[in-house]
Amino acid sequence: MRLTTMTDYALRLLMYVAQHPDRLCTIAEVADAYAISEGHLMKITQLLGRAGWLETVRGKGGGIRLGAPVNEINIGAVVRSVEPDFYLVDCLAGGTSCRLRGHCRLTGVLNGALGAFLEHLDRHTLADLLPADIRWMTNHYP
């Protein structure tokens, strides 16, 4: 299983913003901190904003902040909202003509592995990804 770069950057963006609860963060500063394209981060910010993980403030002095407390931002839910699909092999996408159809148990095994992966992510929140000295600020979020 390999997550897309977009998911990696989305999680990094959330972690960065979570570590600065006292102010609005800008896409430019996050892009600089992680050496990521601002244009790419803009798209990710919009996606996370639509999902409610981030709140965006437009205009002069605007920026981004978390849309929920860190202990309410579930990592599994974030990954599901960003990843385009979880097809580990073509046959999981459906509509394919596999010669092994009816005789193959691979899809069941892979679906089980995927389920375990997502189940593990579901047990964690953004708070779990933050350094220990930042976790105390959990109650300072919207």
Rounded CA gap, 129 and 126, in Å? Answer: 5
Give me the pLDDT at residue 84, please.
82
| Interval 63-78 mean pLDDT | 96
Mean pLDDT of 39-43: 95
Helix (H) or strand (E) holding 64: strand 63-66
Q: Residue 107's pLDDT is what? A: 78
Which of 50-54, 62-66, 111-115 is predicted with the least confidence, judged by mean pLDDT?
A: 111-115
C-alpha R_g of the chain? 18
The amino acid sitting at 32 is D
Segment 33-50 mean pLDDT:
95
Distance in angstroms (rounded) separating the CA atoms of residues 73 and 67: 9
pLDDT at 114 over 70: yes
Mean of all residue pLDDT scores within the chain: 87
Q: Work out the angle between the directed axes of helices 5-18 and 38-50 (0-180°, nearest 10).
A: 80
Quote the tokens at residue 102: 């009816």
Query: Residue 63 in contact with residue 26, Cβ under 8 Å?
Result: yes
Q: What percent of the chain has pLDDT over 90?
A: 63
Looking at residue 82, its pLDDT comes to 95
pLDDT surpassing 60 at residue 141: no
44-61 confidence digits (pLDDT tens): 999 999 999 999 999 888
Name the pLDDT band for 135 (thresholds 50, 70, 90).
low
Strand partners, 65: 55
Distance CA 12, CA 31 (A): 10
The whole-model pTM stands at 0.85
